[in-house]
Amino acid sequence: MDTDSVLRLVAEVPDHDGFPLVDDLHARFDALAAAHPEQVTVTRIGTSRLGEPLHSYRIGFGSHAAVIVGGVHPNEPIGSWTALHLATWAAEGGSAELDVTWHVVPTIDPDGMRLNEAWFHDPHDRVFYSRHFHRPAPDRQVEWTFPNAYKSVYFDQVLPETLAFMRLIDDTEPDLLVSLHNGEMGGVYYYLSEDLRDVIDTLHAVPAALGLPLDTGEPESPYLRELAPAVFAMDGIETAYEYLEGLGVDPGEHIHGASSAAWAMRHGALCMVAELPYWSHPDADDQTPTAESYADLLRRCADELGASGTELQAILDEASPMLTLETPFLEGSRAFIPMLTATPATDHARADREPADRMATVAERFGCEDLVRCFRLRYGGMLLRALEAETTAGTAPAPVRRLRDRLAERYATWQADAATGAEPIPIRKLVGVQFGAILACASHVAGASRASSPSLVTTSRPGGA
């Protein structure tokens, strides 16, 4: 399947007004299985922490196994539509030429996704989104709780959902793994486990055809290795560990579990993540130099983020002795808010190593400034939800209600600072990017298999069989 064929299929992706709720998503997959019993097989792979069955839908009978998993972060539901569109297309015979058996999990964390459902009907309003936002604490995220052992880091607190994911990978030994993620603001970027020019060309062509910018500003992590504009190598936690250690930062404070990709690469899988924003911004790929040095930009944004973290920590510390409900919002607040106060030290250490005369680009400035906005809105909103759980339940003493009101007032100023100039992106375009990226990778896997050169097969499977 060449790039033109991928683009034609991407153009056919239908639009949606919002995202499906968990029950609706599962009902749609079950209806698909009932409508195509000869093509679709449903297998239970595990159980969520709150007792919900987790299912994988096997579609087709190709010689290549592809595992596609949605909901790895439950605030990232673009993949819900992508998984359903891919499964429907495959069940109706669309993927025959790729010779793939698809193993699709609609959402691997239904418990966490339900805590985001309040904004699914209106995902275009950033203020509304952030006010009803939930993201699990790092050691409660399915994507980042795979077993890990490297130097001083050892992690084996595998979640039930992660165990189900691990079993699916081990049972299928996939040629391709795609965990369905998305970001929030800016442009499109990718992670790819191998430097594949044919795949990268298509990864660039799809957002271009849909009129979406690439995100060429500040990368998600400073140690990322760029394979091409907005395409980063999917290196393991070893890279992050060595980078942090080189800065004089204790890696054990920042690194815990490994990713699904690290587990799948043990089987030689090609792994890919397409990161999509809900909102685009013209500054996301503007390479014009600014009048501010990159080092000063890092310091300024680090100090702003740290100050916000200090404000939130003060409210959390004052409220904690009076809180009686151990909600996921409180658990997440206790994990993320200290991270906001700790990040500035790392960013200042980074800044001290940057040339003083290296000017930041507009894209880098936007990326750094919007990260501050993003984290304020996310984790301020989660702490508000934790306090409101107490006030709604009638268990909050008067001081907790006053803290809630104080935080709500401060949070309103952060909401007013949500990025101007941002435009919501039609959902069909976001699904189209993920769908096209999956097709590009599946096409490469099929093409590599057809090629008889042993060297080609070996170099495209870094982890070995």
pLDDT value, residue 221: 87
CA–CA gap between residue 340 and residue 379 (Å, rounded):
9
Whether the predicted pLDDT of 54 surpasses 90? yes
pLDDT value, residue 21: 98
Beginning with the edge strand found earlier in the chain, give each strand of the sheet holding 279-280 in spatial order. Answer: 185-186, 279-280, 423-424
pLDDT value, residue 332: 96
Give the pairing type, strands 53-59 and 40-47.
antiparallel
Express each pLDDT in 276-326 by its tens digit. Answer: 999 988 898 899 999 999 999 999 999 999 999 999 999 999 999 999 999
Express each pLDDT in 241-268 by its tens digit. Answer: 999 999 888 998 889 999 999 999 999 9
Structure tokens at 271: 């792994």
Express each pLDDT in 112-148 by its tens digit. Answer: 999 999 999 988 889 999 999 999 999 999 999 999 9
Q: Residue for token digits 């009686």?
A: 324
Residues 6+ apart with CB under 8 A from 205: 3, 6, 7
Closest CA to 72 of 113, 114, 124: 113
Express each pLDDT in 398-416 by its tens digit. Answer: 999 999 999 999 999 999 9
Residues 6+ apart with CB under 8 A from 394: none
Whether the predicted pLDDT of 56 surpasses 90? yes
Statement: the pTM of the whole predicted model exceeds 0.85:
yes
Q: What mean pLDDT is predicted for residues 422-443?
A: 96
Closest CA to 321 of 231, 211, 396, 426: 396
CA–CA gap between residue 319 and residue 313 (Å, rounded):
10
**Structure confidence at residue 449 as a pLDDT band (50, 70, 90):** low
- What residues are paired with 279 via a beta bridge? 185, 424
pLDDT value, residue 441: 98
pLDDT value, residue 417: 86
- The answer to whether domain 3-280+424-459 has CATH 3.40.630.10 is yes
Express each pLDDT in 143-194 by its tens digit. Answer: 999 999 999 999 999 999 999 999 999 999 999 999 999 999 989 999 999 9
CA–CA gap between residue 129 and residue 123 (Å, rounded):
6
pLDDT value, residue 450: 58
Express each pLDDT in 206-253 by its tens digit. Answer: 999 999 999 888 888 889 999 999 999 999 999 999 999 998 889 988
pLDDT value, residue 451: 57
Express each pLDDT in 69-118 by its tens digit. Answer: 999 999 999 999 999 999 999 999 999 889 999 999 999 999 999 999 99
- The answer to whether domain 284-416 has CATH 1.20.120 is yes
pLDDT value, residue 233: 97
Residues of the chain with CATH 1.20.120: 284-416
Residue 352: other Cβ atoms inside 10 A? 11
Residues of the chain with CATH 3.40.630.10: 3-280+424-459
pLDDT value, residue 458: 30
What are the start-end ranges of the E strands in 167-238?
176-179, 185-186, 189-192, 226-228, 231-233
Whether the predicted pLDDT of 465 surpasses 70? no
Express each pLDDT in 8-30 by its tens digit. Answer: 999 999 999 999 999 999 999 99
Residue 69: other Cβ atoms inside 10 A? 26
Whether the predicted pLDDT of 454 surpasses 90? no
